[in-house]
Each structure stands twice: as structure tokens, then as C-alpha cells.
Structure 1
Amino acid sequence: MNNMLDQVILGNPLQNYFVLAIVLLFVSMIKRYLSQWLANLLFKEVRRWAPDIGQQEFSYLLLRPLEYFFLLVAFMLTIDHLNFPPQANIVIYNGFRLKAILGTLLELALSVSIIWIILRVIDFVSLMISKSADLLHDKTDNQFIVFFRDFFKAIVFIFGAIAFIRILFGAVLVNKIIAGLGIGAAALALAAKESIENLICSFIIFFDKPFRVGDTVRVDAYQGAVEKIGLRSTRIRTQDKTFVTVPNKKMVDSILDNLSLRTQQRVVIRLEVAGDTAADKLLKVLQDIKQLLQQHDKVADGFIVNLHDFTSTTYVFQITYLTNVIEAAPFNQLRSELNFGFISILEKQGVKLSSTTVEIHEK
């Protein structure tokens, strides 16, 4: 048995391969338990800062990246004790041998695993802050969370790209790139002018707060609810349920109407009645309409009802009232209810309606 294990295959005793297989099998079996143990240990510390975060949420974010990290580290530590067979170390491309390429791939895999863990940590921190923001019922914090989560993830990706370049091409190229950034900064800024402007405008949006996630806005020809504010653009769900992406620079530079901040809606109705209507009936209609508006609890004080104009064939009543009802469905219901009331008053007094023009204004 010992003689068989001492047999050399590809430059290594057979027992070394058995040790490698046993270690990898063992780590594969315990990686979930090891990751769960480490996650539980971290969760005990995290729970002091985020008591509303469940252990299942925390474990869901970290378990898989930790499992792959432990398995990869075990593989790298174990395979390091094996001798790479010289006959297999062939030239693959442009003077690069198989051993060097495999080593580079392992370094890249380890870097990806570490970046994955960092990204999950960022997700967890954003989740932790989001839970705290939900307790305050403030959407401003939520949009800050989404913004800075994406911002820090972008930074991680940039450093990850630098690490990949260093692994693939060496530290010399990285140093040259960093040194060249000073020279090419002006050209880079010019090329990325629009992206930089959008990034700066995103900060303006967050600190100036002209709108928030969930607000209904109108910008240029688009109107809808803001669903996300990102580093480069703002996403709006329009009334037609389309998804419009508007650059943040346009959101800042354009005239933007935040419909969610309006406090009242104004309705202007012109009632044109027949020109042969008696004056006493006109006065009675005027009084009844005022009484109807005064008794309605959803009509704000300060309404105006008057004989606005007249011609040889018509008398023109103008009714102007304000309402605190903002939502579309209740607002339309209120308009319908009052319009039927106006029609009933005209029928009661025997006044014929010539034509009607309705205008709706928001403020």
C-alpha cells in the first residue's frame, strides 16, 4: 500500500494527490458550517447596531461568498504543496507558460471572491441603514442609501479593475497608468464631461431635494413617478407606464414641476346660459351655487362665483374653487359630484345651459 502511495505521477507522490482530494472534500463538506459559524459570530456584533436585521437576511448575504472564499483558499493552500510537472509547463501564448497562467487565474478568482464579499457587505450596510430609515418613514434617507450604495460599489469596481490589471500585466503598468492620469486628467475630464456633469447634478439633487423617490414630477414632455435616482440618471414611471431615463443634468437644468408638493387644485368653470333668462333667476342660480360650494366640506374657503360676462345671446357665470383633494380618482369624483350639483340648480330654476367650458389649474 505504501509503495503504491509513493508512486510518482506528474512529479508528485500519489499520496499528495490523496491529501489534496481529502482536504478539498473535507472543506466542501464543512464550508457551509464554517461560513455559518463565521456569519453567526459577525451577526452577534452587528446586532448591537442593527437590532431590526434578521439573522436569515444577514446569512443570506454572506454565506455564499464566504463558502467560495473558504473553498478557494483551501484549494490554493493545498495545491501550493504540489510540484508542477515540468513536462506540463508548456508555452500557451506569447511566451506565457501554463503554470503562470493557472497561477494568474487563481489570483483573479481570489480577487473576485474578495470583491464579492465586499459588495455583499455594502449591501448589508445599506440594508441596515434602510431598516433604520423605514422606522422614521422618511423617503429621503432611502434615496440616499440607494445612491451611496451604487457610489461605493462603483469605487469597489474601480479598485477591482486596478487589481485585475496588476495581476494580468504587473505593477509596472499600474504605476504607469496612475502616473499617466495626471497628464491625461484634462483629456479624461473632457471626454467624460457629460458623465461628470450628471454625477455632480446627482449630488445637487440629493442635497437640494427638488424631488424625492415616489414624487410625481413633470419635466419637459414627461410626467410620472420617480422610481430611482442614480449616479447618472433619474428613472421615471410615466402615466402610460413607460420607464423613462432622464439624465440628472436635465433634471437640474430644466424647469421641473413637482406635482406631489402642490397643496391644492384649482378648478375654473364657465357656465354659459341662454340670453333670455330672467335676472331674478340668474341671481337665484348665483346664490344656490355659492350655497352648494359653501356647504361642501372638500371645497376650500375663498371660492368665487360671479356673473363674469354677457353677450347678446348668453350670460356667462364663472365658478372658481379650490380643493385640497390631490389624488386623481377622488379629485375626479369631486368634480363630477359638483358638476351634477350645478346642473341640478340650473334645472331647478328652469335655466337652460348654452355651453360649458371647464379649465383645471394646479398649484
Structure 2
Amino acid sequence: MNNFLDRVILGNPIQNYFILAIVLLFVSMIKRYLSQGMANLLYKEVKRWAPEIDKHEFSHLLLVPLEYFFLLVTFMLTIDHFTYPPELDITVYNGFTLKMVLTAILELALTVSITWIILRVIDFVSLMISKSADLSHDVTDNQFIVFFRDFFKAIVCIFGAIAVIRILFGAVLVNKIIAGLGIGAAALALAAKESIENLICSFIIFFDKPFRVGDSVRVDAFQGTVEKIGLRSTRVRTVDKTYVTVPNKKMVDSILDNLSLRTHQRAVMRLEVAGDTSADSIIQVLQDIKQLLQKNEKIQEGFIVNLHDFTKDTYVIQIIYLTPVIEGVQYNALRSDINLAIISALDKRGAKLSSTKVEIYEK
């Protein structure tokens, strides 16, 4: 039996092949437990920072990459004790020997395995941060997480691709590619100046947060609700229900009024009453308007009702009041009720509006 195990095949005794097969078989059988154990150790540390992370989610991300990594490392450590057989020292193509090809394959496999693990770690970190972001009502945070997750994964893939090129074609080609990318990046930056500006402005929006998804904003000539903040532009659903795409640079450079951050809504009315109305009627109208505003629970204290000005033909009554932030139909209904009550007060006291216009403002 010993003579059989000592027989040499391809420069190595049969005993070494048996050891390699047994080790690989053993690691294949326990790789799941090794990976699970490693994942459990990492999970205990992660649990301190993100207690809301589910153990199954964490294990699902890292288990398979760790299994292949353990198996590959075991194979490389074991095969390192083998003597490369002279019989296989042959040239495959253009000076490349079979040994060089096999070494490159192992290096490629190790590079892919490490890249895979790093990508899964990025997925896990983004998952951990998104769990915390879900506790807030800001949808922008989730977009921010997705963007940076994809950004860092792209960087890792680029470095992985460079490592693969270096293994296959050598460092000289990598240096040429990097030099070419430097020149190309400068030309691309000049050609895509506006796109880069919009990209930078998207970072400003993400960090400074002048508005968020769901906010009602007014920019230049349009007003609407922010539905999406992208890397190049922001999508706004206007009050006319149109879908407007605004470059992020414009959202940052323009004067933006975030209506969702209002603490109150301010209404200003300017009533011009006919000049033949008696002074007593004017006084009674002012008192009636004050009373109806006081009785309305949605009108904030501190409203103003006064005789603002007068001319030979008109008396100008100014009404200023604040309401809580009420959206849509409810706010319109409140304004309608107040306006009808004011009309009733004018009619009750025999006061007529002047033939000139009535100005109503709101902010």
C-alpha cells in the first residue's frame, strides 16, 4: 500500500493527490459551517451598531461568497505544496506556458471572490443604513443610500476589472489604460460640463436638503410637489398635474420657496366699500368681521381687521389672518366660508362694494 501511495505521477506522489482530494472534500462538507460561523461572529459585532438588522438577511448576503472563498483559499494553500510537473511545462500560445495560464486562472478566481465579498459587504452596509433611514419619513434618504451603494459598487467593479486586466495582460497595459483615462476624463469633463454641474448640485440637494420628496415647492414660474430627486434633475408634479423635469442646477441656483415648511398660511383681503356707506355701518362691518374670525377655530389669533384707507369714493377695509397649513379642498372650503360670511356681514349692514376691484392675496 505504501509503495502505491509513494508512486509518482506528474512529479508528485499519489499520497499528495489523496491529501488534496480529502482536504477539498472535507472543506466542501464543512464550508457551510465555516461560513456560518464567520457570519455569526461578524453578526455579533454588527448587532451592536444596528440591532434592527435581521440575522437571516445578514447571513444571506455573506454566506455564499464566504463558502467559495474558503474553498478557493484551501485549494490554493494545498496546491502550493505540489511540485509542478515538468511534463506540463509546455507553451500554450505565444510564450505563455500552461503554468502561467493555470496561475492566472487561480488569481482571477481569487480576485473575483474577493470582489464578490466586497460587493456583498457594500450591500450589507447599505441595508444597515436603510434600516435606520426607514425610521424617518424622508424618502430622499433612501434615494441617497441607493445612489451611494451603486456608486461604491461601480468603483469596486472598476478596480476589480483593472486587477483582471493586470493579471491577463500585465501592468504595462494597465498603466496605458490609466493614462488614457486621465486624458479622456479631461475631455469628457469639458464636454459634459452641464451634466457634471447637475451632478454636483444633486449632492448639494442631498446634503443641504432645501427640499425633500413630497414637499410642495415654488420655483420661478411653476409650483408643485417634488416626486423624485435624481442625479441630474428633479421631477415635480405641478398644480396643473403636469410632470416637470427641472435640472438640479436650476433648483439650487434659483430662489426656491418650500411651501411645505410654512408654519401658517397667510391671507390678505382688501375690500373697497362704496363711499356713500355710513360711518356706523363701516364700524359695524368691522366688528362683525372680527367676531366671525374670532369664532372660527382655524383662524389664528392676531388677525387684523381695520379701516386701512379711504378716498372720496371708497372706504378700504383690510383683512389679514393666518390659518394652519391646510392643503387642497379643506383650505379652499375654509376660504369660501370666510368670504361668504364677510359678504353676509356687508349685506346685513347695508354696505355695498365699490365698483372698483377687490384685491385678495394669499401666501
Instruction: Calculate the TM-score normalised by the size of structure 2.
Output: 0.68
| 8 A contact 2:267–2:362 mirrored in 1 | yes
| SS of residue paired to 1:48 | helix
Tell me, in whole angstroms, the C-alpha distance in 2 between the residues paired with 1:245 and 1:206.
17
Match of 1:61 in 2: 61
| SS of residue paired to 2:155 | helix
Tell me, in whole angstroms, the C-alpha distance in 2 between the residues paired with 1:241 and 1:99.
67
Structure 1 pair 340/118, CA: closer, same or farther in 2 (3 Å)?
A: farther
Structure 1 pair 325/136, CA: closer, same or farther in 2 (3 Å)?
A: closer
Match of 2:362 in 1: 361
Match of 2:224 in 1: 223
Match of 1:323 in 2: 323
Match of 2:285 in 1: 285
**Letter matched to residue 303 of structure 1:** I
Structure 1 pair 182/90, CA: closer, same or farther in 2 (3 Å)?
A: closer
Q: Structure 2: which 5+ residue stretches go unaligned?
A: 1-16
Q: Which moved more, 1:183-192 or 1:350-359?
A: 350-359
Matches within 5 A, 1:331-342: 331-342=331-342
Query: Alpha-carbon deviations, 1:146-201, whole Å to 9, x = none?
Result: 55444433422332342344345432211112234555554343234334323433
Tell me, in whole angstroms, the C-alpha distance in 1 between the residues paired with 2:340 and 2:105.
76
Structure 1 pair 307/103, CA: closer, same or farther in 2 (3 Å)?
A: same
Which of the two has higher C-alpha Rg?
Answer: 2
Match of 2:153 in 1: 153
Matches within 5 A, 1:1-363: 33-66=33-66, 111-132=111-132, 145=145, 148-167=148-167, 169-181=169-181, 186-220=186-220, 221=222, 223-225=224-226, 227-228=228-229, 232-239=231-238, 246-271=246-271, 280-300=280-300, 301-306=302-307, 317-349=317-349, 359-362=360-363
> Residue 98 of structure 1: CA displacement?
11
| 8 A contact 1:305–1:320 mirrored in 2 | no
| SS of residue paired to 1:283 | helix
Match of 2:6 in 1: none
Structure 1 pair 304/156, CA: closer, same or farther in 2 (3 Å)?
A: farther
| 8 A contact 1:269–1:318 mirrored in 2 | yes
> Residue 289 of structure 1: CA displacement?
0.9
| 8 A contact 1:264–1:324 mirrored in 2 | yes
Structure 1 pair 46/287, CA: closer, same or farther in 2 (3 Å)?
A: same
Query: Alpha-carbon deviations, 1:309-343, whole Å to 9, x = none?
Result: 6796x876543322232544543343233234324
Query: Alpha-carbon deviations, 1:28-57, whole Å to 9, x = none?
Result: 776655543332221012112222322133
Q: Structure 1: which 5+ residue stretches go unaligned?
A: 1-16
| 8 A contact 2:195–2:232 mirrored in 1 | no
**Letter matched to residue 304 of structure 2:** F
Tell me, in whole angstroms, the C-alpha distance in 2 between the residues paired with 1:257 and 1:242.
19
Query: Alpha-carbon deviations, 1:190-226, whole Å to 9, x = none?
Result: 2343343234333433454433454333334463225
| 8 A contact 1:263–1:326 mirrored in 2 | no
Match of 1:6 in 2: none
Q: Which moved more, 1:245-254 or 1:98-107?
A: 98-107
Structure 1 pair 61/353, CA: closer, same or farther in 2 (3 Å)?
A: farther
Structure 1 pair 305/60, CA: closer, same or farther in 2 (3 Å)?
A: farther
Tell me, in whole angstroms, the C-alpha distance in 1 between the residues paired with 2:282 and 2:317.
9
Structure 1 pair 105/186, CA: closer, same or farther in 2 (3 Å)?
A: same
Structure 1 pair 346/201, CA: closer, same or farther in 2 (3 Å)?
A: same
Tell me, in whole angstroms, the C-alpha distance in 2 between the residues paired with 1:76 and 1:242.
61
| SS of residue paired to 1:187 | helix
| 8 A contact 1:303–1:322 mirrored in 2 | no
Instruction: Calculate the TM-score normalised by the size of structure 1.
Output: 0.68
Structure 1 pair 24/251, CA: closer, same or farther in 2 (3 Å)?
A: farther
The root-mean-square deviation of aligned C-alpha atoms, in Å, is 5.4
> Residue 266 of structure 1: CA displacement?
2.0
**Letter matched to residue 285 of structure 2:** V
| 8 A contact 1:108–1:167 mirrored in 2 | yes
Structure 1 pair 227/140, CA: closer, same or farther in 2 (3 Å)?
A: closer
Tell me, in whole angstroms, the C-alpha distance in 2 between the residues paired with 1:21 and 1:358.
91
Percent identity, please.
Answer: 71
Tell me, in whole angstroms, the C-alpha distance in 2 between the residues paired with 1:106 and 1:310.
95
Number of aligned residues: 357
Tell me, in whole angstroms, the C-alpha distance in 2 between the residues paired with 1:70 and 1:333.
69
Structure 1 pair 202/283, CA: closer, same or farther in 2 (3 Å)?
A: same
